Amino acid sequence: MKKYNIIINMEKCVAPGKCDLKCIKTCPLKVLAYYPTDTSREDSPVVIMATFPFLCNGCLYCVEVCQPKAISVSPPK
């Protein structure tokens, strides 16, 4: 089974506070997750990752809700 190529541009991403992590919440298959960059700080910036890319079905819901267009998904080759 081939997986979709999911790219998250963290330079464009405004997570977590400004977007309410819509990309993560909208994914029906829970492909995306976020992790703090500094676990010792509560207000630490986060990194959003495709932790389960093999589950992606290409619905593009994450791409549609991402206002800064920080996520791209391309089909398997």
Residue pLDDT, tens place only, 16-57: 667 889 999 999 999 999 988 888 988 888 889 999 999 999
> CA-to-CA distance for 14 and 27, rounded, in angstroms?
18
CA pair distance 66, 34, nearest whole angstrom: 15
Amino acid in position 64? E
Q: Minimal CA–CA distance to 66: which of 20, 4, 3, 28?
A: 20
The boundaries of the domain holding residue 58 are: 5-74
* Count of the separate structural domains present in the chain: 1
Single-letter code of the amino acid located at 61:
Y
Q: What is the pTM of this model?
A: 0.85
Contact 76, 6 (CB under 8 A): no
Q: What is the pLDDT of residues 55-65, one digit of tens each?
A: 999 999 999 99
Number of helices and strands in the chain (H, E): 2, 4
Which CATH number covers residue 38?
3.30.70.20
